[in-house]
Amino acid sequence: MMGDADSRTMTDSLASARAWDLPHELLDTADLRRRFPAFAVEEGTVALQVLADLVTGRATAHPIGLFDPARPTATVQG
């Protein structure tokens, strides 16, 4: 998820990831611009990625912006 660093959604999501001890990665504006130079990232934007599969509980490594939950459905349906 991406959003304003001070938004309630971002702060609550980060607090939840920490409270539940979920492996996560928090990228600040500079990190986002460095990793994704093709995108115009506004100052103050952060991204939070929880690195856990909520079904199995195993840690995963879905790169931010590349994990598309609709992709398996699209692949199956052609």
For residue 56, the Cα-to-chain-centroid distance in whole angstroms is 18
Local confidence band at 7 (pLDDT 50, 70, 90 cut-offs)? very high
Local confidence band at 76 (pLDDT 50, 70, 90 cut-offs)? very low
- Residue 58 has φ and ψ, to the nearest 5°, of -85, 150
Total tally of structural domains belonging to the chain: 1
- The Cα–Cα gap between 72 and 35 comes to 25
Local confidence band at 4 (pLDDT 50, 70, 90 cut-offs)? very high
- The Cα–Cα gap between 23 and 25 comes to 7
- Residue 48 has φ and ψ, to the nearest 5°, of -120, 130
Q: Is the pTM of this model over 0.85?
A: no
Q: Which residue has the tokens 């994990």?
A: 67
What range does the domain containing 6 cover? 2-77
pLDDT single digits (tens) 10-54:
999 999 989 988 888 999 999 999 999 999 999 999 999 887 665
